[in-house]
Amino acid sequence: MHTVLSKGFIFWSTDCTQAFLNAVTGDRDIFVRQPYGLDLHNGLRCVYRLKKYLYGVRRAPLAWQQTLSACLAKLGFVSFKDDPCLMRRVQKNEQGGTSEIIAEVFVDDIKWATNDTEALKDVICSVGDQFQITVGPKKVDSSLRDKVDWNHAKISTYLGMKYPQTFDEEGHVTLAVNQTTYIDQVIKRFELDGGDYAGRDTPLPAASSIKELEKKIGKLDDEKLIAWSKKYSFPMIVGSLIHAMVHTRPDIAYAVSVLSRHMSKPELWHYKAAQHLLLYLRETRTLGLEYSQKKMLAHTGPLITGTFDTNDHDKDRRSYKTFNDFLEGAVDASFADDDGTARSTSGFVIWFCGMPVEFECKRQPLVTLSTMESEYVAASRCVLSVRFLHKFMDFVQLDRAGPTKVHEDNAACIAITAKPVHRSRSKHIAVKYHNVREAVENGEVELVQVWTEHQVADLFTRSRSRRKPFSV
């Protein structure tokens, strides 16, 4: 989405009717029993061998993916090795230019992006000759190419998300992604749409630890809250929140992470915290992510940053470094904020041309012994995502110049990525977390120190107040 938007490609969507039924079983024998209620064959209940897969068969999704990939491969598409559902084709067109088509498959939905609509129409029709592909309400194949209203192929909604697009006077597109309708449905499902509940201006009350958060949740003797907690399943509430968080709402990542740790045995304060978060979503229902092509293009110029040693106060001796002009990240950790386990919380966000493409908030899988160590473990998670995005950029042929800048507010963490300092404090760190140092040595990533007050990733590691002014 982010890559093709920066290139100014159009977005189309098609649907494959009864997708799994197109995959042939081949040499694999799959037998099914005759359903109860059907007439017996000569008094016997039959067992059938499938020629094609059915919905509900465990291997059906993989078989359909392989079937569709084979079809697209014949049309010149190449799969991304780390995500086979993403495919790309680059060819020369009749005008001597480059025709590029990117396809992304999600079960029976295929999302297309291209700079050559005529070539994309040919591809969709070719796929429609083999499978039942629909654009809007109508089937598409080569015989119906010129009869189809291709305006129905434009993406407007997808998986409960809305994709309104606007264009400025220069022709640059701005794509907003929100889940307003989905949030309204969730609020109504849990009966919080009435005026009996006041809105909230933060996902959770500001707190630096789980124990402090529990104290700030407030009194729990409300009979209405007790009745609400008995009526609704806590896993169902958290599951509804997760769907909003992973797609368009990074601002609730920390709150969802805290609540999801208590799925099996939630206490009453967890229900009140979940209700607080739902009421916050009700007040901010229209918020989402916005991707502006104009802003993206502004970030694709050379990104040059001045750096100098902390002991060097002569700014004339400052050295300049060119960083990757597409990706930029920020990573942070909240040391031992989980009082019950003494574990820390990691959080990071990665931007593509100034727009967030990946973010995460997760409790660390081990107990760290210092702030430096918790930050180092968090940076390791961020580096893994950066490396994957590097491979993705190579796949779509976006050239990178220099390492990816990652904002980090812990000086000791930055120091041990460049050289093994603080030996007594870091020698016990597991080898797998030293991929941060390896990435720095290879020129893939460079941690750059920022003030804690300016650390954007702090949003993913603690519950913050509505506004905290920066100190300069």
Interval 376-384 mean pLDDT: 94
Closest alpha carbon to 381 in 428, 344, 426: 344
Query: According to the model, what pLDDT value does residue 426 have?
Result: 67
Residue 68 and residue 137 in one domain:
yes
Decide if 80 is inside a domain: yes
Domain shared by 184 and 138, yes or no: no
Report pLDDT digits (tens) over 292-351.
Answer: 888 887 766 544 444 444 454 444 444 455 677 788 999 999 999 998 899 999 999 999
Q: What is the mean pLDDT of residues 355-369?
A: 92
> What pLDDT does residue 285 have?
92
Residues 6+ apart with CB under 8 A from 148: 135, 138, 140
User: Can you give the pLDDT at residue 316?
Assistant: 47
Q: Which of 254, 283, 312 is the last residue of a domain?
A: 283
Q: Are strands 83-92 and 98-106 parallel, antiparallel or unpaired?
A: antiparallel
Q: What angle do CA 238, 288, 83 make, to 5 degrees?
A: 75
pLDDT at residue 95, as a whole number: 77
25: helix, strand or coil? coil
When pLDDT is averaged across residues 252-274 and rounded to a whole number, the result is 93
Phi-psi region of 293 (alpha: psi -120 to 50; beta: other; left: phi over 0): alpha
Q: In the prediction, which pLDDT does 208 show? A: 86
Q: 99 and 223: one domain? A: no
Q: Tens digits of per-residue pLDDT, 91-128?
A: 987 777 889 999 999 888 899 999 889 999 999 999 99
Residue finishing a domain among 283, 311, 327: 283
- Are the beta carbons of 433 and 380 closer than 8 angstroms? yes
321 and 243 in a common domain? no
pLDDT tens digits along 12-56: 999 998 899 999 988 788 998 887 777 776 777 788 899 999 988
Q: What is the pLDDT of residue 155?
A: 83
Whole-angstrom distance, CA of residue 451 vs CA of residue 455: 6
288 within some domain: no
Residue 161 in any domain: the answer is no
Residue type at 245 in one-letter notation: M
Q: Which residue has the higher pLDDT, 174 or 45?
A: 174
Q: What is the predicted pLDDT for the residue at 434?
A: 85
Predicted local distance difference test score (pLDDT) of residue 399: 79
Q: Which residues share a beta bridge with 98? A: 92
Which of 222, 249, 283 delimits the end of a domain?
283
| Cα 448 from Cα 329, distance rounded (Å) | 10
The pLDDT score that the predictor gives to residue 322 is 64
125 in the same domain as 61: yes
Asked if the structure places residue 124 within a domain, the reply is yes
Tell me whether residue 160 is in a domain: no
In a domain, 469, yes or no: no
Domain range for 59 is 2-155
315 in a domain, yes or no?
Answer: yes
Which DSSP letter does residue 34 get?
P
Q: Is residue 236 part of a domain?
A: yes
Task: Report the domain count for the chain.
Answer: 3
Q: Are residues 306 and 453 in the same domain?
A: yes
State if pTM tops 0.75: yes
How far is residue 229 CA from its own chain's centroid? 30
- Residue 298, sorted as left (phi over 0), alpha (psi -120 to 50) or beta, turns out to be alpha
Q: Verify that 40 and 133 share a domain, yes or no.
A: yes
- DSSP one-letter code for 384: H
| Domain co-membership, 314 together with 451 | yes
**Closest of 385, 413, 406, 416 to residue 456, by C-alpha:** 406
CA distance 185 to 188: 5
- Co-location of 273 and 357 in the same domain: no
pLDDT score of 349: 95
Residue 107 and residue 15 share a domain: yes
Candidates 392, 253, 239, 280; CA nearest to 327 is 392
pLDDT score at 420:
67
Q: How many C-beta neighbours within 10 Å does residue 33 have?
A: 9
The rounded mean pLDDT for the chain is 86
Q: What's the rounded Cα separation, in Å, for the pair 27 and 436? A: 46
The H-or-E segment that residue 14 falls in is strand 10-16
Q: CATH number of the domain that 435 lies in? A: 3.30.420.10
Residue with tokens 């300016």: 454
256 and 364 belong to one structural domain: no
Quickly tell me which residue has 């804690």 as its tokens: 452
Indicate if 216 and 271 belong to the same structural domain. yes
Query: Between the ranges 156-165, 194-203, 371-380, where is the mean pLDDT highest?
Result: 371-380
Is residue 90 within 8 Å of 98, Cβ to Cβ?
A: yes
